[in-house]
Structure 1
Amino acid sequence: MLFKDIHVGELIQKRVEETGFSSDRVMNFMQCSHEELRQMYKSKSLDTETLLKWSKLLSYDFFRIYSQHLVLYSPPSSSEFYQKTKDERKTQLPEFRKNIYTLEMITFILSLLKANEKTKKEIIEEYRIPKTTLYKWIKKY
């Protein structure tokens, strides 16, 4: 899957087909008409409340697709921000301790390394992957 160009409606439609849910069941859960359902399948993006409903119905975390996009394609964070102490960079938003590393992301990172597009040091700095994690991936994969 390419995380660069996300068309969430198509992904949802594929997941509905995989699960074998009937249109009636989906429309009942989503509280929508057949035409609204068809529009959601055609939509490149959906609002978060709707996407949360889809995630619950289909038992699939569609938000993680966007998280992967951020990990792979967002510009590196300011190093000044991460040099500050935790108290200096307080936020009222929740802070997550673990990064999300899917097999696709690991494969992407290791392919950069294998093709000599980036060095280990560049990957560690740019993607903020701990050194030990990168070395574990190299050994395992």
Structure 2
Amino acid sequence: MENLKDIHIGPLVYERVNEQNIEMGRICKFLNSTEKEVLEMYSMKSLDTEILLKWSKLLEYDFFRLYSTHLILYAPVASQNKKTVRSKLPQYRKSLYTKEIIDYMLELLKNKQKTSAEIINHYGIPKSTLYKWISKYRQ
């Protein structure tokens, strides 16, 4: 897994374009952009969400998931003492872990980069969840 602490989306889009072997003409037409604009996007750290959505559709890859994974790994866990304010926005459980996140955590343990306690403290993953992953996914 890439280092998701500091996401540079342009190079990741460029990598996917190369993997998919998509011609520049098709990209320009789909994004309604010039070749120069597309080439500039490849070097950008961030892209407008509407553009990123188009890239996701064109390249059949959910680039937004990179940011969701970042939030799961690096966003602080909500404090229990805060007043709960009802939001009209959809609410998501923070504890939805993708296979990539599970693999990443197990890789940290396997390579002895972090201990179980360090993973639990740093990423806010419940102890029971981590040990369940270890028993289920480790060979």
TM-score clears 0.5? yes
Question: 2-side partners of 1:23 and 1:11: how far apart?
Answer: 16
5 Å-filtered alignment, 1:1-141, equals 1-81=2-82, 88-97=84-93, 99-110=95-106, 111=108, 117-119=115-117, 123=120, 127-139=123-135, 140-141=137-138
Find runs of 4+ consecutive structure 1 residues off by over 6 angstroms.
none
TM-score by length of 2: 0.80
Question: 2-side partners of 1:75 and 1:97: how far apart?
Answer: 14
Q: 1:100 to 1:59 in 2, by over 3 A?
A: farther
State the identity %.
48
The number of aligned residues is 134
Q: CA RMSD in A?
A: 2.6
Q: 1:27 to 1:115 in 2, by over 3 A?
A: closer
Deviation, structure 1 residue 106? 1.8
Question: 2-side partners of 1:112 and 1:74: how far apart?
Answer: 21
AA partner of residue 117 (structure 2): T
Stretches of structure 1 that go unaligned for 5 or more consecutive residues are: none
CA contact (8 A) 1:68 1:100 kept: no
Deviation, structure 1 residue 28? 0.4
Q: 1:56 to 1:90 in 2, by over 3 A?
A: same
Question: 1-side partners of 2:60 and 2:85: how far apart?
Answer: 35
